[in-house]
Structure 1
Amino acid sequence: MSIGNSPEDDRPSVGRALQQARTGAGLTVEEVSTTTRVRIPIVQAIEQDDFSRCGGDVYARGHIRTLARAVALDPDPLITQFDAEHGGRPEPTVPKPLFEAERIRSEPRRPNWTAAMVAAIVAVIGFVGFTLFNGGSKGADGPVSADGRANAEKKPAPAPNTTRPTVKPTVPDPAPSDSAIAGLPKDKVTIKVTALGQSWLSAKDANGRLLEDVLLKKGQSKTFTDKKRIDLVLGNAGAVQLYVNGKEVKQVGKKGSVARLSYTPGDPQAG
């Protein structure tokens, strides 16, 4: 008789965990497929714990990791759970040692007497030249000046440069100045999106034409301009810095949430 379930029994499956995270983030299967470039049938199958469409365990792990990051979920516990439910990863094959009998032994080389004789002649010539050079330089302790006296003064060796190169600190990009804001066109809406963390972005113009649909990494930026209106969909809105017509929009959204925004020319509050 079972009194209670263990925490592992209450833990949702890999596909169920991905589905719950996607639903909690307010994303559809089509939006996740567009962001991750994983086809819709494969996303639907994985959420039903059907990994047969992935083409093998290696590809299944890659799809799980990609989908988990798209819905702001830690992929490592899901990979561990997947391995536990599917027999784990195969151990690497250890190469067998090579037998001594299989090694090819090189035949002993015969001595090259011609090369030995040439080396001996070169050594003798070098020794004679060295002896003559030292004999001619004996008695001179240093350079001699024009009046015959030895110049005992030597120039001091330059001191080693111990100064370390100065490393300039990285200064973040400042907010747009008043002159930059004044230089923006008044009859257009200009939007700049900068990712402070990983987030996905979808932008359309007033006619519904898709301008951009991309997963932004930390530090990446996108800028859009239109005469009438720009519609934005921001995933993980709390990790996005947004400027509309040169002015920063505060509190775009919470971390992990999806924000749907629309802006027109003029003040950001008019959008």
Structure 2
Amino acid sequence: MSIGNSPEGDPPFEDGRSEDGHEEEARPSVGRALQQARIAAGLTVDDVSGVTRVRIAIVHAIEADDFTPCGGDVYARGHIRTLAKAVHIDPVPLLARYDDDHGGRPAPTPAAPLFEAERIRPERRGPNWTAAMVAAIVAVVGFVGFTAFKGGDSDSGANAVAQGASPSASKPAKPTPSNTDSATPKSDPSDSAIAAAPQDKVTVQVSAVDGRSWISAKDHNGRMLFDGLLKKGESKTFQDSSKVNLILGDAGAIQLYVNGKKIEDDFQPGAVERLTYTKGDPEVG
């Protein structure tokens, strides 16, 4: 059994003392509080890493109050919340302590330029089926009129034959419905993939298929839609008029459906992902 990976191998916490020698109320650091809770729960670092999908090296670093491997305050807060829930303690006091030690709660980070570019991307338009249908009708009417005009120039014998055959002479006008049908707009095949989702909104479904993960979701105004742990097998659906912002604490455990279509991004286990989706996603092509 490796030292530091066993609940019994961690040294006990020592109470702090003030400069005048009097004992003061112990207030463990964020990392120390998580370590003590893990030991009290009878869990090893490997156990916590397996449950949360947070890499072992990051768990060790956080318990040593080294948040550099997390990659930033937002990701560090997400890992703290995930680890706290895994060892059965309330993450709120730990997050407050972390904010006190690191200059307050981080300001919201703007969406990545890639998603901004997608948000303002011009909407693709299909063919103008109305104009095509009108053109087809005009062509049919012109053909019928031309046929009637030519029939008026024939001699009387031809007129007699034409009058006897008047029912069949009107047949050229019958293709009109079929021609009209051929010009009737067909539904864009690419639209069938997102037919189940409202066209005037953005709909995002988040499913924890390979494990549990902490997720955060906000609407286009920055209002929090959800912030918490999604257990394996659970799903959440978020909808907004224009945009949904996501943070996935363990993107490798998540499967996304955006506007009714499965997202095929290859997220790695334990990876933290920040994503933004709009009504135009995924891009129709």
The alignment's TM-score, normalised by the length of structure 2, stands at 0.39
Higher helix share: 2
User: Which of 1 and 2 has greater Rg?
Assistant: 1
